[in-house]
Amino acid sequence: MKTLRLADILQVSAFFIFFTTISCAGPKPIEEMVLAKVALDAAKESGAVSFAAGYWYRAEENYRKGENAIKSNYNYDAKEFFVQAKIYAEKAENSTRLKKFKSGEGYP
């Protein structure tokens, strides 16, 4: 019968500790995802696709990255992507409204 050495026990323990910390991805960022989606919809409705294409592209790209991160169970990364998507979508909407107001197309 083989006896376990202290080094073997430490290696196995380190493996399990590492594995459990990696697998704990935290809660899914549902609230951030919903807020980002609402901001994207509002920006799209205001016409940001044509008036603020740069901000719109960044918002959409961050939202897609967030969705992919959730599928891969990288919830902390997904949260950051959704927050950035919301910020860029709001910037796109504000920029669009300002450009429309300056051109006389509508109120801000």
pLDDT at 30: 95
- Could you count the other beta carbons within 10 Å of the beta carbon of residue 25? 15
The average pLDDT across 6-19 equals: 64
46 is a domain residue: yes
18 is a domain residue: no
Residues of the chain with pLDDT > 70: what percent?
A: 76
| Length of the chain as a residue count | 108
Total number of domains in the chain: 1
CA distance 20 to 14: 10
Domain boundaries, position 81? 27-103
* pLDDT tens-digit map of 70-106: 999 999 999 999 999 999 999 999 999 999 999 888 7
Give the CATH number, domain containing residue 39.
1.20.1270
CA distance 90 to 100: 15
The average pLDDT across 32-56 equals: 96
The average pLDDT across 30-56 equals: 96
pTM for this predicted structure:
0.75
Residue that is written with structure tokens 């592209």 in the block: 57
38 is a domain residue: yes
Largest CA-CA distance found in the chain, in angstroms, rounded: 87
